[in-house]
Structure 1
């Protein structure tokens, strides 16, 4: 035995208000959508009908209700029963259930959105020469239908919808709110819309062009629009068009850097009615440096009409719009204008993100974007022209460690440690297989440093043994080389792989038994340690090597180690901080102790006894070989008891 579903309208209204629509304000959009579709339906049979939409706020009606009038096709009594009283049934679908492209609505739930702000909806409608029908729906699920009496017949085809507000929702129906919402959703409609006789529809849409309008005038109009809608004056504007989706629009390039992680939302119109101000997924992810306003006739909205349905057509549109922006960037690169350099200064992240997968954008980055190098800021093309092969470091920290030393050894290096840059440099051979690219690690640089001659290495061995014992507790390998610049006493070298192993070993010490075993399997067979390379050409290092005092050597090595960490912009662990304090205080204490010892370099002269009038000081005792001269009183020795 079959049964029919029953629908709890109160539950449906709660579902719409809390889970489908973001705000009650959408009721104005749904009312205008139904009115515009009704006019479009009438024009199919009567092409000459102009049509219009009028709102009457409670200020005009005088009874607290809101009315919206349209000169559309209207409904018959049978259609009222079939469409207005059946949730999900829509007249805007064909015989096969597919949406008809000339209409905005598709889902048959638009009128229900009015229950978000009203307890009662009254519809007064007439189609052609048929009598006027009155339909009244209530929020509790009831509805009434009757033919209007003679004194309430509509003079012409069309529909009037009257909303009686719910308690505490009256503000959604006041004149100012209705005018604002009607202007938000309907300002671009080709059909005149008025609220209490105030026009809502505006001038030409941003995507429209007028042969009589000069290029300067259009740019000024678009700049004004972007300032009013998006809150910025655009760096540039790019016209968009995808005929397959009936899409036209304009992309406004942001005048300031954009955060790639920030949600990118665009303003999308469907058949010139605003769908939403915050549509996501219209452009590829890399195009976060633009904000778009577009109108489309073919893309499908979701049921809430606040997002686009993700289908193959939307994917094609996304790719086509990405191609259009890519073409605009390429055109800037070919013109070689100052505008491109300024654009890259602002939005290099977006361009580099695209260049990771796009050869044309990679060429643009190669020719125009300056990288940090130890020879100054240069584009990759300039770097190759001057030095041939491109050596680079994949992290900023490694570049800071080796930049000055590599420069002193005549090794030019590119800093590719910023976002996307290592991938871009590594992809250069994709443009031309003849381009030589090589990642330079700290280990590679260490191999380039000049070794000590055998005799010097032999004399350094005792010091090196003491230094290694000192730094074993820090997990650092010590070596002595000769390199430039002479002013640099020590170099701390830590490559990416070694840093990863150090981090895993540290986590292994802190983890529980299970994770210790897992991390142990990852670190097994890896005993790489960072290196401290002491510069034998540096006078301070040579002095430390020859000091001969083991305690002083330990303090000096610890001090040189921490200084190398700081110069390499490395974070200090607690053990490193302790070494910093110990070496500083230890060396300071030794220096102060040396400064307070009695001077042994200038003993008193034996040929000049102390003066009679000036007793000898404590630091200059009388000579034992010659008794002190006596004063006039032989019984009174020279100097006081304290002096003696």
Structure 2
């Protein structure tokens, strides 16, 4: 017989149930806590199936937490054939039917009618129990017997028929015998907490009976779906729901309603600033069942200032049912919810200016990010946004009333250099060093015609400083010569000017090009070979930094009259160091050494002066004087 004529034999995959349970518990599900969600889900789907046959059928789920845990539903139940088909076949779902019709038990309708879609829900219970018992009676088949299915985690199961009195009404009861190492998940208090978390928005009646026999109703109609006596009462109810769910009192609540995907809920505005990099965890319920409380993919990235709770019928879950499946529907929902939040934001300027001010004082960064890409929002809100200016923190509308020509500092360092002197000179400077600020300020003329916006050049500011008379500069010539020698080592010039405020003894003006050139030169000195040649070829002629001494400052006037070189050097180094610190930029090693040296030298001069005043020489013991 040739190889092509060898007979082919068919085989069936062998499934290691313990290994599969381990896979579920460590890789598919985030925690054993999901076992209760799976039980509630199966109960809800069974009730949904029964109500399709009989809309008047009861819709109750009862969870009992004692030595054993039981979940009883008034759903459609199973026949013995259904039990063999669905409970004994891993991955087979009673809610799945390829042709869209009813299966043998009448359980399957359209997939969208049910929460569960993957046929592994009951298997998840083996994460906390070694044995599961299902007692069920079908509502779809008249005079159906009561069937008991008992399965164990080693893959064995038994089926038997029970007397009718074992379950007088249609439905299903699932009983778990918890393992010792998982007992914490089936304790009464834990079960109640899990039921409230997962099932708080279920549309069926869900009750937990604790170990003392006390009944707890765990679900309720959400406040956005309830009728309220007044808008204020509704607002208070939404705020209370936020406090109980997210543990904060919101600035405002934004209604979310997308009928096409059966989505309703609320976006709560955070009362405190949140960094744009932080993704908010949103609570997403699927047909009432909690799917995830960390669904950060529900909203656009820019909407980091809200946290949402929604219930939807139209979004797809992932296989673990702990997240949303990324598809075109989710993308469309994300865009639509973003539009809703944007519309709320745009409407505040007309409907509630006080709320707008409160919101912008906390979340202005989020609005700035959004306004860069949304022209309508830019026109509405740019004048309301706060910016750091030479006149202090204020809105652009307030700022342009005094400064129709707006100068924009490109970096925070540049703004720190010129803010005080610009304010005294009547110039209007905005700090463009923060994220988004420079781009937004440059768009101001689109919103306010007649306003001019220009990038700041430090030379614009120095041009407004008053020159000192020639006689004064001649008298200080010796000191200025020493000063130029000292700061020349740092590629810096010195000028003597008069300006306000008089409390500022010196200012250091430096532009980005000069700093870049100095960095390049320093790297070229430290490099060797080809890299040094490349850096050397990039050399550019740029303006040097400038140390401007304020002749109106009493300290500078006294320093300019110093005749001793050593003290003059120390004074210049101290003035340069103080001006450096005012720029708030990182110091190089040589600059830090200068600051330390000038401080020690000044301290030494002060001690020598004190000793001279007391008639003592250096190092003289006071008792000997």
TM-score tier (shorter): 0.7 to 0.9
2:171 maps to what in 1?
A: 158
Shift in CA distance, 501/281, structure 1 to aligned 2, threshold 3 Å: farther
Question: Contact (CA 8 Å) 1:443, 1:495: kept in 2 or not?
Answer: no
Residues 195-225 of structure 1 deviation map (CA, whole Å, 9 limit, x = unaligned): 2371434432132131x53222222222222
Q: CA deviation at 1:307?
A: 1.1
Mapped pair 1:351 → 2:362: no
> What residue number does 2:247 align with?
231
For the pair shown, the structure with the greater C-alpha radius of gyration is: 1
Q: What CA deviation, in whole Å up to 9, does each residue of 1:245-272 have, x standing for no partner? A: 2100012222233333334111111111
Distance 1:126 1:151 in 2: 9
Moved more, 567-576 or 287-296: 567-576
Alignment of 1:353-392 (within 5 A): 353-392=369-408
Aligned to 2:221: 204
CA distance in 2 between counterparts of 1:15 and 1:384 reads: 64
Partners of 1:522 and 1:265 lie apart in 2 by: 52
Corresponding residue SS for 2:284 = strand
3-state SS of 2:113 partner: coil
Instruction: Find out whether 1:91 has 2:104 as its counterpart.
Output: no
Residues 290 and 598 of structure 1: CA distance in aligned 2, closer, same or farther (over 3 Å): closer
Are residue 69 (structure 1) and residue 72 (structure 2) matched?
yes
SS at match of 1:93: coil
CA contact (8 A) 1:374 1:403 kept: yes
- The residue matched to 1:207 in structure 2 has which SS? helix
TM-score of the two chains, using structure 1 as the length reference: 0.82
Q: After superposing the two structures, state which structure 1 stretch, 20-29 or 574-583, moved more.
A: 574-583
Deviation at 1:485, TM superposition (A): 4.3
Query: Cα distance, 1:35 vs. partner?
Result: 0.8
Q: Deviations over 1:515-563 (max 9, x none)?
A: 9659937964366653222345656546655645444432232122112
Q: Measured at CA, do residues 590 and 188 of structure 1 come closer, stay the same or move farther in structure 2, by a change above 3 Å?
A: closer
**Separation in 2, partners of 1:304, 1:515:** 56
Per-residue CA shift, 1:470-516, capped at 9, x if unaligned? 22333433344454445533211233444455456556667x76996
State which drifts further: 268-277 or 295-304: 268-277
Aligned equivalents of 1:447 and 1:49: distance in 2?
A: 86
Q: Compared with structure 1, are the counterparts of its residues 99 and 431 closer, same or farther at alpha carbon in structure 2 (3 Å cutoff)?
A: farther
TM value normalised by structure 2: 0.85
User: Is 1:562 matched up with 2:577?
Assistant: yes
Q: Flag the 1:153–1:331 CA change in 2: closer, same or farther, 3 A.
A: same
User: Per the alignment, in what secondary structure is the counterpart of residue 134 of structure 1?
Assistant: strand
In structure 2, which of residues 17, 20, 34 is the aligned counterpart of residue 26 of structure 1?
Answer: 34
With 7-16 and 526-535 compared, the bigger mean Cα shift is at: 526-535
Corresponding residue for residue 55 of structure 2: 47
Partners of 2:171 and 2:75 in 1: how far apart?
5
- In 1, the alpha carbon distance for the partners of 2:569 and 2:489 equals 12
Query: Is the Cα–Cα contact under 8 Å of residues 284 and 291 in structure 2 kept in the other structure?
Result: yes
Question: Equivalent residue for 1:38?
Answer: 46
Task: Measure the CA separation in 1 of the matches of 2:200 and 2:537.
Answer: 63
Match of 1:424 in 2: 440
Equivalent residues, number: 591
Return closer, same or farther for 1:151/1:371 CA change in 2, 3 Å cut-off. closer
Question: Residues 413 and 199 of structure 1: is their aligned pair in 2 closer, same or farther, counting only changes over 3 Å?
Answer: same
> Paired residue for 1:534?
549
8 A Cα contact 1:236 1:253, kept in partner:
yes
Who is 2:105 aligned against?
Answer: none
Counterpart-to-counterpart distance in 2, 1:330 and 1:324? 10
Q: Which consecutive unaligned segments of at least 5 residues does structure 2 have?
A: 1-7, 101-108, 615-625
Change (3 A) 1:519 1:465: farther
Cα drift, residue 298 of structure 1: 0.3
| CA contact 2:147–2:162 (8 Å) conserved in 1 | no
| 8 A Cα contact 1:505 1:519, kept in partner | no
Against the structure 1 CA distance between its residues 99 and 300, is the aligned structure 2 distance closer, same or farther, given a 3 Å change threshold?
farther
Superimposed CA distance per residue, residues 76-108 of structure 1 (whole angstroms, 9 cap, x where no aligned partner): 333333322333222323426897111010011
> Secondary structure of 2:112's match?
coil
Query: Residues of 2 paired with 1:57 and 1:548: CA distance?
Result: 92
CA contact 1:207–1:294 (8 Å) conserved in 2: no
The match for 2:591 is: 576
The DSSP-based 3-state class of the residue aligned with 2:268 is strand
The aligned counterpart of 1:251 is: 267
2:121 paired with 1:110: yes
5 Å matches for 1:169-318? 169-196=182-209, 198-210=215-227, 213-318=229-334
For the structure 1 residues 587 and 16, does the alpha-carbon distance in structure 2 shift closer, same or farther, using more than 3 Å as the test? closer
Do structure 1's residue 409 and structure 2's residue 425 form an aligned pair? Answer: yes
Distance 1:519 1:200 in 2: 75
Distance in 1, matches of 2:269 and 2:529, equals 52
